[in-house]
């Protein structure tokens, strides 16, 4: 039977045959090594770096939502670097989003360059180059922090025609916002630290793919580098996924109201939210995505104005990362990101919409 997103999120990764007396979601297994059979040796579990039941349950849950087998990692950055280093070899070229997560570009300009891998930077909204000679194309859509959106199906077709693999960073959208594997991508990579788990209390990353050989390379890399999340983080993440549909619904409705508020104010510029009909990415976003994430970006003109805005706001926490249940704002330039001094990425939480709009209005007036 085919279920809706909310039902799928609630039941993702749970045991197929619940045992009487067991909890709905089994608790975390705190074990490094496991008992081995003295004759036959390892069973399903031997050592937590290579196999762990709590981690497998989380991987099953995310895999059911993304639509492909999944490996989880200690952070989003651990996941994306595992993919890059497992796939790319000296002499290869990788295409990265010019407006995507800046740490990935820094990794490419440093570690990958030293390993002999070349990089081309491509704006998420295009124009796109000829991908001939490119080994891997990484898309980030919506892009972080500028929120441009690209047509995954179209770019994947062009990249595949040139012989390139396609990976999509699905962090902002989450698997309830879009499923890149169903749109033609070869692999999905994401940070589960953010909206997927949504409570700002853990670090997590994952890689999903229907390509067994590709995922096998990534799994070997994980085993040999040990970039695995702990049992409790895996359990917390799995528990949090049950409310994903509910959290995203409120965050999206909040973002719609906030974007409309900001777009109507003359003292705010550069408002971006792909759900606004006036947004440059609107047409692609509504055609490709089942829901628009609760992230809005805008510019207040200077670092000093951002500071006054955040000081005046009661419901907006100044914090990096995004996707949590609390509304947060991040002036990205303070972290070395190549954004304007007054650029703000606002992540809408699950507060009451009227309260949030009133608080933002008052803070902007100040």
Q: What does the domain layout of the chain look like in residue ranges?
A: 5-241, 245-365
Residue 65 neighbours by CB under 8 Å, 6+ apart: 8, 9, 12, 175, 176, 241
* CATH 3.90.550.10, applies to 5-241: no
Mean pLDDT, rounded, of the chain: 96
CA dihedral angle for residue 309, residue 312, residue 314, residue 319, rounded to 10 degrees? 40
Q: Do domains 5-241 and 245-365 have the same CATH topology?
A: no
Tell me the per-residue pLDDT of 221-257, one tens digit each, with 9 for 90 and over. 999 999 999 999 999 999 999 999 999 999 999 999 9
Is cis: bond before 127, omega within 30 of 0? yes
Tell me what the mean pLDDT of segment 42-59 comes to: 94
pLDDT of 364 over the 80 cut: yes
pLDDT of 335 over the 90 cut: no
| Residue recorded with tokens 């922090």 | 145
Beta-sheet strands, E only, within 81-164: 93-97, 118-122, 136-140
Tokens linked to 48? 């937590």
Distance, CA of 99 to CA of 297 (rounded, Å) = 13
- Fold adopted by 245-365: 3.90.1150
Tell me what the mean pLDDT of segment 105-110 comes to: 96
């Amino acid at each position: 039977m085919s279920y809706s997103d909310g039902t799928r999120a609630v039941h993702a990764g749970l045991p197929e045959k619940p045992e009487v007396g067991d909890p709905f979601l089994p608790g975390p297994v705190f074990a490094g090594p496991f008992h081995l059979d003295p004759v036959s040796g390892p069973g399903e579990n031997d050592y937590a770096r290579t196999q762990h039941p709590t981690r497998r349950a989380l991987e099953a849950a995310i895999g059911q939502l993304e639509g492909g087998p999944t490996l989880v990692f200690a952070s989003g950055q651990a996941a994306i670097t595992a993919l890059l280093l497992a796939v790319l070899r000296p002499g290869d070229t990788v295409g990265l989003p010019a407006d995507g997560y800046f740490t990935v570009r820094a990794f490419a300009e440093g570690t990958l360059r030293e390993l002999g891998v070349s990089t081309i930077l491509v704006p998420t909204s295009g124009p796109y180059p000829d991908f001939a000679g490119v080994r891997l194309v990484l898309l980030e859509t919506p892009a972080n922090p500028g929120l441009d959106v690209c047509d995954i199906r179209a770019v994947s077709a062009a990249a595949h025609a040139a012989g390139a693999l396609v990976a999509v960073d699905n962090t902002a959208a989450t698997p309830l916002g879009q499923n890149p594997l169903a749109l033609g991508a070869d692999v999905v990579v994401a940070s589960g630290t953010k909206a997927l788990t949504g409570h700002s209390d853990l670090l997590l990353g994952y890689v999903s793919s229907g390509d067994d050989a590709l995922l096998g390379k990534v799994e070997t890399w994980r085993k040999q580098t040990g970039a695995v999340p702990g049992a409790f983080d895996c359990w917390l993440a799995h528990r949090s996924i049950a409310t994903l549909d509910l959290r995203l619904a409120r965050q999206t409705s909040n973002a719609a109201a906030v974007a409309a508020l900001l777009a109507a104010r003359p003292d705010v510029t550069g408002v971006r939210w792909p759900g606004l009909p006036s947004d440059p990415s609107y047409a692609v976003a509504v055609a490709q995505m089942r829901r628009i994430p609760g992230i809005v970006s805008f510019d207040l003109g200077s670092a000093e104005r951002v500071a006054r805005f955040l000081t005046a706001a009661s419901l907006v926490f100044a914090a990096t990362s995004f996707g949590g249940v609390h509304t947060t704002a991040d002036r990205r330039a303070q972290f070395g990101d190549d954004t304007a001094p007054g650029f703000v990425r606002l992540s809408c939480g699950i507060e009451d919409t009227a309260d949030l709009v009133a608080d933002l209005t008052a803070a902007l007036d100040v």
